[in-house]
Amino acid sequence: MIDLHTHSLFSDGELVPAEHLRRVEILGYSAIAITDHADSSNLDFIIPRIVQAAADLNKYSKTQLLPGIELTHVPLEQIAELTRRARQLGAKIVVGHGETPVEPVRPGTNRATLEAGVDILAHPGFITLEEAKLAADKGILLELSGRRGHSLTNGHVAKMALAAGAGLAVNADAHGPGDFLTAKMAEMVALGAGLSLEEYAKIRKAMAALVAKVTA
């Protein structure tokens, strides 16, 4: 199991990184990213702390902790620069908060986030085929979300990704201990979006490949 979109108490999650990591270690995860919500006001506060947590905890855990960030509701004009700054600060996984139908995300966020070259476009809502093709061209994974509300458009996201040849990721968007996906639940998210077991196997491989790339 791999999950590349979760939150700790450094934004709106409930757990310190040590407990966060331990919870998913027990579930058999091989890797997890903490990607707390950020904009220009707190980017340089959150990332160094998750980087430090990863340095301290990865020596003792079977699950690899990846420092990341989720750029959330930021002005379109700032997304590219904040993506660059996040990587400079040590974020291994940069997630863009996509145009979920359950939040007032600025129109155009999906495209601006894809153009910025993030790693994952989270809960991209009613993403267009053109945007999905841009994700495919840039090797950006489109998220199928396990979180209530965000998951409403999983079927549409899967359809657009398949049509465009874009990669997918299944993430919990976990904020507390009850949110982490078991292996069976993650499979259900994929199948519930209309994918086959073979297509879900490709998702797992794509997520593993991303982890290998950012940790090489």
Give the residue-averaged pLDDT of 101-121.
Answer: 98
pLDDT digits (tens, 9 = 90+) for 8-45: 999 999 999 999 999 999 999 999 999 999 999 999 99
pLDDT digits (tens, 9 = 90+) for 201-213: 999 999 999 999 9
Q: Which residue has the tokens 């079927």?
A: 155
Which pLDDT does position 67 carry in this prediction?
A: 98
Which pLDDT does position 150 carry in this prediction?
A: 98
Percent of the chain with pLDDT over 90: 100
**CA 151 → CA 29, 63, 146, 155, 181, distances in Å?**
22, 26, 6, 8, 14
Give the H/E segment covering residue 157.
helix 154-164
Give the residue-averaged pLDDT of 145-156.
Answer: 98
The model's confidence at residue 136, banded by pLDDT at 50, 70 and 90, is very high
The model's confidence at residue 142, banded by pLDDT at 50, 70 and 90, is very high
Which pLDDT does position 86 carry in this prediction?
A: 98
The model's confidence at residue 99, banded by pLDDT at 50, 70 and 90, is very high
Which pLDDT does position 97 carry in this prediction?
A: 98
SS3 labels along 91-126: CCEEEEECCCCCCCCCCCHHHHHHHHCCCEEECCCC
Q: Which residue has the tokens 């519930």?
A: 192
The model's confidence at residue 74, banded by pLDDT at 50, 70 and 90, is very high
The model's confidence at residue 108, banded by pLDDT at 50, 70 and 90, is very high
What domains sit in the chain, N to C, each tagged with a CATH number? 2-215 (3.20.20.140)
Residue 163 has which token pair?
């049509």
Helix, strand, coil % over all residues of the chain, rounded to 5 = 45, 15, 35
Q: Facing residues of 144 across strands?
A: 170
Which pLDDT does position 156 carry in this prediction?
A: 98
Residue 110 has which token pair?
């999906």
pTM of the model: 0.98
- Nearest 10 degrees: Cα torsion 5, 1, 65, 176: 50
What span, in angstroms and rounded, lies between the C-alpha atoms of 112 and 78?
9
Residue 99 has which token pair?
């145009």
Q: Facing residues of 95 across strands?
A: 70, 120
What span, in angstroms and rounded, lies between the C-alpha atoms of 94 and 97?
10
